[in-house]
Amino acid sequence: MTRDTDTHLVVIGNGMAGHRLVTTLLARKDRPARITVLGEEASHAYNRILLSPWLAGELGRDELALPAMVAEGVECRPGARVINIDRSSHTLTLESGERLHYNRLVIATGARPTLPEVAGIQLGNVGAFRTMEDGEWLRQQAPGSNAVVIGGGLLGLEAAEGLRKLGVHVTVLQRSDRLMNRQLDAVAAGWLEQTLTRRGITINTGAELARLDGDSNGNVRSLTLRDGRTLAADCVVVAAGITPNATLGRLAGLEVGRGICVDEHLATRDPAIFALGECAEVDGATIGLVEPIWQQVETLVDVLCHRTPAPYQALPSPTRLKVAGIDLYAFGPVEPSEGMETLTYADPEHGDYRRLLIDNDRIKGAVLYGDTRDGPELFRLATTDTALGKARALLIFGAHDAIQRLEEVA
């Protein structure tokens, strides 16, 4: 394979998706000879997944940095915000006024927090937890102050635990009737709530925000729930979902739904422009997990290197989480469908819980809390549609013996 010497590839977005794309391209001999990466944030690429342990003081800031994309023909430009795409001239306009020509363009602008439409949401000391800048803001909160986290999903709970370790009094508001309702069943969510409560975090489920109230300086002072309760708040962290950053695609006249619409090769209706990661929409669906984004990268790299790509197809992927030092692993439906059998093992003393969903002698879903070592093997059995047979009775106590039984039968 020979290097594509004529193409200038521009990547808008220096987040994890853009970084993964470029580093994967750098391993290909037939990559575009010139690659420019434009990042809106002032910092170089970093691992957003590690923001939570950094906030909690478990990691130094330098440990978040992703490897530098250093190679001949590659230029990384942090703090370079793109404000317009002129498709007819293949030209980008930066906020600085600079114009930059591209031959092929990848939009990897990620997503932004979804803000509730309530009065006071624009007050000072109300923000999110998705960037290094957000983390710096949260680290400045004074010990003994009151923080309210809106959202009891992974990101909200990680922000809550990090603030707790900084000495802040934290309250979590969750609209659903349980924490992490998209990943955990009622038992696992209840255990998680009990653990966080013992650590000093106040959890309010079934709580819906009505409004935020500010002080004379324009900073948040309190918030009111729809049931009339009022909570003191020196800062409010919104972690209640994400919205794809599709503005550039919309301004450029590309097809946009929730995200920038692309086909199975990540191409927009403009053959020179592609979208990747959280800002992209494939078959009406957007994504927010790392593994599907890595799958998209593999397809797009082949496209950009003029190879025949395997079409991107969203594959099932497990959710691997670590919330406040507690390991969680889940896949498949959270609630059983009619006819499904539920196998459960619970050891409250050691904080170990497993719940498997079985249908037609096959694993369809699992929730593991505490000891998650069997998660990958259970997921493999589910994705390969393996009949459990006599191994079924052993599964709930551990996958190792069950796998041995299956191998013996085979």
- Tell me: pLDDT of 402 over 70: no
Rounded Cα distance, 212 and 162, in Å = 23
Locate 269 and state its tokens: 């209706």
Locate 316 and state its tokens: 């099932």
pLDDT in tens, 285-300: 999 889 899 999 999 9
- Tell me: pLDDT of 1 over 60: no
Judged by average pLDDT, the poorest of 208-212, 256-260, 328-332 is 328-332
Helix ranges restricted to H, 51-116: 51-55
For the structural domain made of 126-238, what CATH number should be given? 3.50.50.60
Question: What is the average pLDDT across 23-52?
Answer: 94
pTM of the entire predicted model: 0.90
Give 3's pLDDT tier (boundaries 50, 70, 90): low
pLDDT at res. 409: 54
pLDDT at res. 4: 63
Largest distance between two CA atoms of the chain:
73
The amino acid occupying position 145 is S
pLDDT at res. 326: 85
**E strand spans, 120-248:** 126-127, 146-150, 169-174, 202-205, 209-214, 220-225, 230-232, 235-238, 242-244
179: nearest Cα among 166, 195, 164, 163: 195
Instruction: Note whether 108 and 21 are within 8 A (CB).
Output: yes
Rounded Cα distance, 159 and 267, in Å = 35
Instruction: Note whether 209 and 225 are within 8 A (CB).
Output: yes
Distances (CA, A) of 364 to 122, 208, 332, 346, 374: 43, 32, 6, 19, 15
pLDDT in tens, 79-126: 999 999 999 999 999 999 999 999 999 999 999 999 999 999 999 999
pLDDT in tens, 306-324: 999 999 988 888 888 777 7
Rounded Cα distance, 263 and 312, in Å = 8
Rounded Cα distance, 332 and 1, in Å = 41
Distances (CA, A) of 19 to 1, 69, 110: 23, 8, 12
Burial environment of residue 390 by CB neighbours within 10 A (0 to 12, 13 to 18, 19 or more): exposed
- Tell me: pLDDT of 398 over 80: no
DSSP 299-316: HHHHHHTT--PPPP----
pLDDT at res. 392: 80
- Tell me: pLDDT of 275 over 60: yes
Locate 386 and state its tokens: 């393996």
Question: What is the average pLDDT across 234-242?
Answer: 95
Mean pLDDT score across all residues of the chain: 92
Which position has the higher pLDDT, 250 or 402?
250
Instruction: Note whether 92 and 99 are within 8 A (CB).
Output: yes
**SS3 of 3, please?**
coil
The contacts of residue 405 (CB under 8 Å, 6+ apart) are 389, 390, 391, 394
pLDDT in tens, 160-172: 999 999 999 999 9
**E strand spans, 253-374:** 260-262, 273-275, 280-282, 319-323, 326-331, 341-347, 352-359, 362-369
Locate 43 and state its tokens: 């910092």
24: nearest Cα among 83, 88, 69, 79: 69
pLDDT at res. 400: 66
Sheet containing 82-86, strands listed edge to edge, beginning at the edge strand earlier in sequence: 82-86, 91-94, 99-101
Q: Which residue has the tokens 């023909």?
A: 73
288: nearest Cα among 323, 321, 336: 321
Same CATH fold assignment for domains 126-238 and 332-409: no
Residue ranges covered by each domain of the chain: 4-112+242-304, 126-238, 332-409
Locate 97 and state its tokens: 């006024």
Domain topology for 4-112+242-304: FAD/NAD(P)-binding domain (3.50.50)
Could you give phi then psi for residue 349, rounded to 5 degrees?
-60, -40
Class of domain 332-409: alpha beta
Burial environment of residue 233 by CB neighbours within 10 A (0 to 12, 13 to 18, 19 or more): buried
